A = this chain, B = another copy of it.
Amino acid sequence: MTIGMIGSGNVGGALGTRWAKVGHEVVFGTRDPKSKEVQQLVAAAGGKTRAATMADTARAGEVLLLATPWPATQQILAGLGNLNGKVLIDATNPLLPDLSGLTHGTTTSGSEQVAGWARGAKVVKAFNTVGANIMANTSFGAGRPVLFYCGDDAAAKQAVKPLIEALGFEAVDAGPLSQARLLEPFALLWISMALVHGLGREFAFQLLRR
């Protein structure tokens, strides 16, 4: 299969190199196909790889991988012309420049609303990202599920952490309460996978480290 990388930076470079190593024909799309950087990438990837303009890459690829910086994404796609029937794998994220949030989709959280309603309380978000069945029983053989918590009061978080650990979770401090903007969609991912998209309720997430 010919895979066209729309963007050959960190993500496009890593994925294209690995797909080339397993035998796919990879085209690294770039503003300047003659640049030293992309030529080094092609040489390192080996196999059937080459560099091309973004538009040539889009024409050549049976599957396209979109890995552009978000601010450039609209303009680059506009320059590709018609993509009729192409499979476009979107690996972008609409990140704000300082990584403090997303430009699309997330604006606030239930927990920030709760903090407005719960007069005087020190709110810590926790225990929202897995079902009650996992909270009742955190055993997965050798695996240990992760549970994130977040809040704006350090002492309150220190009080909550052992309550998480007492149940067998790995407790991970995810930062300020505004991180609930991420933990609530993470919860809905669990819920939707458990109830709608086929994983069932008896799953959880573990952190892998190296």
Contacts and interface: CB of A to CB of B under 8 A. Distances in A.
Indicate how many identical chains form the complex. 2
B192 A99 contact: yes
Contacts of A108: 104-105
Contacts of A106: 105-107, 184-185, 188
Q: Which of A82, A104, A193, A199 is the most central at the interface, judged by chain B CB atoms within 10 Å of its CB?
A: A104
Contacts of A180: 90
Interface in A135-183: 135-136, 139-141, 143, 145-146, 148-149, 153, 156, 159-160, 163, 166-167, 172-175, 179-183
B205 A206 contact: yes
A102 to B, nearest CB: 6
Interface of A: 3, 10-11, 13-15, 17-19, 22, 24, 63-67, 70, 73-74, 77-78, 80-95, 99, 101-115, 117-128, 131-133, 135-136, 139-141, 143, 145-146, 148-149, 153, 156, 159-160, 163, 166-167, 172-175, 179-189, 191-193, 195-199, 202-210
